[in-house]
Structure 1
Amino acid sequence: MAILMMVGLSLLDFLVAGLSLFIGLAFIAFIASILCAAALFNNVKDVSS
């Protein structure tokens, strides 16, 4: 019973770690996309004028 509980808790730990990694990477990707869009708009503005 104790081994089954340890396996269950370790799977839960991997699930929580994966979820937090996914949220962190999504946040970094969101910030990177905003910065890339700002750089693109800035370069388009310089080329068009």
Structure 2
Amino acid sequence: MMNRTEILRLQRERVLANILEDNANRAKWLTELMDIDDEMEEMEEQKSKVN
């Protein structure tokens, strides 16, 4: 079973591919990319607070 970080990495790769291929919806994909990056950043911050 994949953890949340692995799922986010896969989503991020898919979004990056979509940004390149789907120019019509580029703003949507960039927004999604920012959301994924924000969530990954929050997870890293939480992990560093625990350690």
Coarse TM-score class (shorter-chain normalised): 0.5 to 0.7
Larger-gyration structure (1/2):
1
Unaligned runs of 5+ in 1: 31-49
TM score, norm. by length of structure 1: 0.55
Poorly superposed stretches of 4+, deviation over 2 Å: none
Q: Which protein has the bigger helix share?
A: 1
Shift of 1:28: 0.2
RMSD: 0.4
TM score, norm. by length of structure 2: 0.53
Between 1 and 2, higher relative CO (CA 8 Å, sep ≥ 6) is seen in 2
Unaligned runs of 5+ in 2: 1-23
Length, aligned pairs only: 28
